[in-house]
Chains A and B, each alone.
Chain A
């Protein structure tokens, strides 16, 4: 990524009206790899990036092992990660009440100051009741818990309607709002919970690695307009594809 920026810079400085109109500059694989070798990146920085990813995503054991093996210090106390991961796990397995109680043990101000999160957790609870086929309980819960949320805050009404609509359909999985019953909904809620806990602990809720990859994508797009060069199209393999001429 740094390399493509250097090339962009070089191109800008040699641009002349004549070369603008003509075809793009071509960078061969050899040239590219040579320039790549010249770019220096510190190992400590790499390690910190990896640790940041593990910690933010909540991979406690991996973070601990990585700490031992690389000597990189985690940015937050690993014990707090364990707590957070238990909450996330509870949501992901559909044990919403357990998750709520754990969040409140961790920091009771989170749900009081995040009405949207609290609502989504209660919504998830209703979804789980419907999934388990406990229809009368679900109805009671919707009336006692979800309806007041709608009264307290109008923006939740639409979501409540969608969720309650699930109760109407015989074949819930295939009804209009069936995606609410999907595991992805649990993951969405879990992710929201994770972010809220991280924020309350003064930690950034997004890991830095995805931002770097986004920057790489953007930089390559910018460079595409000016040059043909070995492009990285698959980040998982980091393979370079020869420039087409």
Chain B
């Protein structure tokens, strides 16, 4: 019967669908395919086993079972691949009835197979479906059915369980529990490949923490998985994926795996990076990459690393999922590694990736992953950056900034951020031109925060190296938007926008510095210095540091106007904040102290407040005792600027510092291990003596 348009449930039909056994024979031939009918029939279908004695009821029982199989099969065929239908049947409450069929004591193998397939399908790709299937208790029933005598039932149950365990709502499977581990091991030893694949899936799912990974290793699971590499292609891929999950981020397990059996497992994985099947090659690469990250000492072999890069570059040409994910694997491989990025450069990675990007549409996942890989390739190497700035590629990247997909915009910004680490590229002019800056500033208004954050990153770097052209940047309206973003709820946006302002402030003219301070306002600046995130505090202080640098009058912003800013700084320095914050704070004080008497006194009031309680030593003493040499140096500079040049006021300050035990502390640092500190200590003590001499005279 042709499918009719569904127009909502019709209660009278649903009720009529509850059939008495004797009428089922005629009803069977007009069974509808409407979801409401099917669901109702399934829910109402009498159990195969019930019906009592007598041939009439027995035959009816068989027919009823047949009905049930048909209903299940019809539902299954409607929902497989069809998200809309899955949701519809979910709403009609079909899942409990389907799962109940699995629990039916006298159910026929045919019914079990259809019910299992339907249950698995509900759990595939639809979160609510997975939830419903789990709530109905499918896992227990399906697990029990793995021991069913009928091989088809076993196959169907294994496949369904696999779907369930692959969903993100999959239930926890605790491998630390002995019985569970035995169960997994028994599945791994099965002759049925559907069952062993299921085992691999459960294992991949159960590697949430290092204790679980260790349990699996101790039970011999990775070795068993390696022994299954000889099986069919799909099984091998599933096992490779599981091995990766077991060793991921676990140094102990990874190194033990690499050395077990004289490295047999390791060699088996290496061999697979040359397998015929592209998916296997990718999975083998991912496994080795995970091994390399978890246990670098087992991954010293340069040859393998080079091979990995080459295999991944080839895989980019493969159609489908493999080609899409290969660049991401490459990114993971070379991340933060100068050595590997150099290696990649020698294999022409930039060129190959660029060519692929130019030859295909930007509107693909592959374009995103390739752009991210190119970005990583440029993160440390100057030569990669130059290569990437070829005319065609840079034009493409600039185009990508305006693309519809947020992911593409983010990836393009990431590329620009890393390319603009190169002063040479920036001075070449292509990146510092109006169109680029204009496009990036536009992205600061983007609807996606990840795009905004990525654009901020690029602007940060471009701003540093743009010294001659900064006024253009300033007139582009970027400052007001940066100020706006510095007040965002999102800490990442706050951090990056303040960072950008800091970089823009660097070496700026006084007039332009004034402009920025006016836009930002001192009260916003004070709030930022006291931001909940210490990274933001640090950048805010660095911003002030750059403000003061080379612009003596700007100290008025800090200490003048009811001292909002200096108060904020004082608060942070007294609060035992993060070292980075203290360092920047001391640089700010040092720069202020380099100014006139008023400035120096203001700094003294911060270090040694008049109303200070004598019990608690000044934070200065703590800073001088810090393990962080940068903090010691910054503090010493501040002290130096306070007592130089020699004059009556300076002598007064020396005395005050002496009384607070600061000079004593400095004296104890005469043999400071850091050369820079040692030098400043000497200078401070010399100036103390100088001032004292003068005083005596």
| Residue A38 lies at the interface, judged by CB distance under 8 Å to chain B | no
Shortest CB-to-CB span from B82 to chain A, Å, is 7
Q: Are A144 and B3 in contact (CB under 8 A)?
A: yes
Q: Is the CB of B117 within 8 A of A144?
A: no
Asked if A107 meets B234 with Cβ closer than 8 Å, knowing A118-B81, A144-B5, A204-B276, the reply is: no
**Chain B residues near A118 (CB, 8 Å)?**
80-82
Closest-CB distance, B152 to chain A (whole angstroms): 10
A108 touches B6 (CB 8 A): no
- Are the CB atoms of B232 and A112 closer together than 8 Å? no
Give the docked Cα–Cα distance between A100 and B80 (Å). 9
Q: Does any Cβ of A come within 8 Å of B58's Cβ?
A: no
CB atoms of A112 and B234 under 8 A apart: no
Q: Is the CB of A152 within 8 A of B163?
A: no
A239: interface (CB < 8 Å) = no
Q: Which of the 9-residue segments B119-127, B384-392, B652-660 touches chain A?
A: B119-127
| B471 interface contact, C-beta 8 A | no
Q: Inside 8 A of A145's CB, which chain B residues have their CB? A: 82
Taking the closest CB of chain A, its distance from the CB of B361, in whole angstroms, is 11
Query: Which residues of chain B (1-33) have a CB below 8 Å from chain A?
Result: 2-3, 5-6
Is A241 part of the binding interface, using a Cβ–Cβ cutoff of 8 Å? no
Kindly count the residue-residue contacts between A and B in the assembled complex, taking CB atoms under 8 Å apart: 60
Interface core residue of B2, B3, B77, B80 (most chain A CB under 10 Å): B80
Measured between beta carbons, the chain B residues less than 8 angstroms from A204 are: 233, 276-277
The A-contacting residues of B in range 565-594, CB under 8 angstroms, are none
Is A31 located at the chain interface by the 8 A CB criterion?
no
Q: Please state if B84 and A112 are interface contacts (CB–CB under 8 Å).
A: no
Shortest beta-carbon distance, B31 to chain A, in Å? 15
User: Is A109's beta carbon under 8 Å from chain B?
Assistant: yes
Instruction: Say if the beta carbon of A27 comes within 8 Å of chain B.
Output: no
Question: Is B2's CB under 8 angstroms from A200's CB?
Answer: no
> Contact between B77 and A100 (Cβ–Cβ < 8 Å)?
yes
- The docked-state distance in angstroms from the alpha carbon of A165 to that of B64 is 44
Contact A109 B159 (CB under 8 A): yes
Q: Which residues of A contact B3 (CB under 8 A)?
A: 140-141, 144
Query: Given A104-B76, A140-B5, A111 and B81 touching (CB < 8 A)?
Result: yes
Contacts of A108 in B (CB 8 A): 76, 80, 117, 120-121, 156, 159
Shortest Cβ distance from B83 into A: residue: A152
Asked if A104 and B117 make an inter-chain contact with CB atoms under 8 angstroms apart, the answer reads: yes
- Chain A residue with minimal CB distance to B320? A116
- How far does the alpha carbon of A148 sit from the alpha carbon of B86 in the complex, in Å? 12
Determine the distance from Cα of A35 to Cα of B124 in the docked complex, in whole angstroms. Answer: 58
Contacts of B73 in A (CB 8 A): 101
The CA of A203 and the CA of B276, in the complex, are separated in Å by 12
Question: B84 near A148 (CB under 8 angstroms)?
Answer: yes
Is A113 at the interface (CB under 8 A from chain B)?
Answer: yes
Bound together, the chains give a CA A70 to CA B5 distance in angstroms of 55
A104 cross-chain contacts in B, Cβ below 8 A = 76-77, 80, 117
Mask of A103-135 contacts with B, CB within 8 angstroms, 1/0: 010011101111100100000000000000000
B290 at the interface (CB under 8 A from A): no
**A112–B121 contact, CB under 8 A?**
yes
- Contact check, B80 vs A200: say whether CB atoms are below 8 A apart: no
Q: Let me know if B117 and A202 touch, CB within 8 A.
A: no
Which of these, A109, A144, A148, contacts B163 with CB under 8 Å? A109
Q: Which of B91-123 contact A (CB under 8 A)?
A: 117, 120-121
**Of A101, A140, A200, A202, which contacts B235 at CB under 8 A?**
A202
Interface of B is mostly: helix
**Out of A109, A143, A200, which one reaches B124, CB within 8 Å?**
A109
Interface membership of A159, Cβ < 8 A: no
Chain A neighbourhood of B162, CB < 8 A? 109
Residues in A with CB closer than 8 Å to B276 are 204
Q: A144-B6, A202-B235 are in contact. List 6 more A-B contacts (CB 8 A).
A: A107-B159, A108-B76, A108-B80, A112-B80, A112-B121, A148-B82
Q: Chain B 226-241 against A: per-residue CB contact (8 Å), 1 yes, 0 no?
A: 0000001111000000
- Cβ contacts under 8 Å, B2 to chain A: 137
B residues near A, CB below 8 A?
A: 2-3, 5-6, 73, 76-77, 80-84, 117, 120-121, 124-125, 156, 159, 162-163, 232-235, 276-277
Q: Considering the chains assembled together, what is the distance between the CA atoms of A109 and B159 in angstroms?
A: 7
Closest to A144 in B: B5
Q: 9 tightest CB-CB pairs across the interface, nearest first?
A: A202-B232, A118-B81, A111-B81, A148-B84, A108-B117, A202-B233, A202-B234, A112-B124, A111-B80
**Which A124-172 residues have C-beta < 8 A from chain B?**
137, 140-141, 143-145, 148, 151-152
When chains A and B are docked, how far (Å) is the Cα of A114 from the Cα of B82? Answer: 11
Nearest to B117 among chain A residues (CB) is A108
Q: Given the complex, which residues of A lie within 8 Å of B121, measured CB to CB?
A: 108, 112
Query: In the complex, are the beta carbons of B234 and A109 less than 8 A apart?
Result: no
List the A side residues contacting B80 at CB < 8 Å: 100, 104, 108, 111-112, 118
Complex CA distance for A203 and B121, rounded to whole angstroms: 23
Task: Return 24 A-B CB contacts under 8 Å, by A number.
Answer: A100-B77, A100-B80, A101-B77, A104-B117, A108-B76, A108-B156, A108-B159, A109-B159, A111-B80, A112-B80, A112-B81, A114-B81, A115-B81, A118-B82, A143-B5, A144-B5, A145-B82, A151-B84, A200-B234, A202-B233, A202-B234, A202-B235, A203-B233, A204-B276
* Nearest CB of chain B from residue A79's CB, rounded to whole Å: 13
The CA of A148 and the CA of B2, in the complex, are separated in Å by: 19
* Residue among B83, B125, B235, B277 facing the most chain A CB atoms (10 A cut-off): B83
Cβ–Cβ < 8 Å partners of B277 in chain A:
204
Q: What residues of chain A lie closer than 8 Å to B163, measured between beta carbons?
A: 109, 112
Q: How far is the CA of A104 from the CA of B232 in the complex (A)?
A: 21
Nearest chain A CB to B228 CB, angstrom units: 13
Residues on B with C-beta less than 8 A from A109 are 120, 124, 159, 162-163
A192–B277 alpha-carbon span in the complex (Å): 18
Chain A residue numbers with a CB within 8 Å of B235 are 202
Residue of A nearest to B159 (CB): A109
Residue numbers in B under 8 Å from A115 (CB-CB): 81
Q: Which of B81, B125, B163 has the most CB of A within 10 A?
A: B81
Smallest beta-carbon distance A9→chain B, Å = 23
Interface string of A75-112 (1 = CB under 8 A from B): 00000000000000000000000001100100111011
In the complex, chain B residues whose CB is within 8 Å of the CB of A202 = 232-235
A113 to B3, CA, bound (A): 25
Cβ–Cβ < 8 Å partners of A137 in chain B: 2
A160 to chain B, nearest CB (A): 14
Cα–Cα, bound, A109→B155 (Å): 11
Q: In whole angstroms, what is the CA distance A100 to B5 when docked?
A: 20
A84 to chain B, nearest CB (A): 16
List of A residues within 8 angstroms of B77 by Cβ: 100-101, 104
Instruction: Name the B residues within 8 Å of A152 (CB-CB).
Output: 83-84
How far apart are A109's CB and chain B's nearest CB, in angstroms?
6
Q: Which of A104, A107, A145 has the most CB of B within 10 A?
A: A104
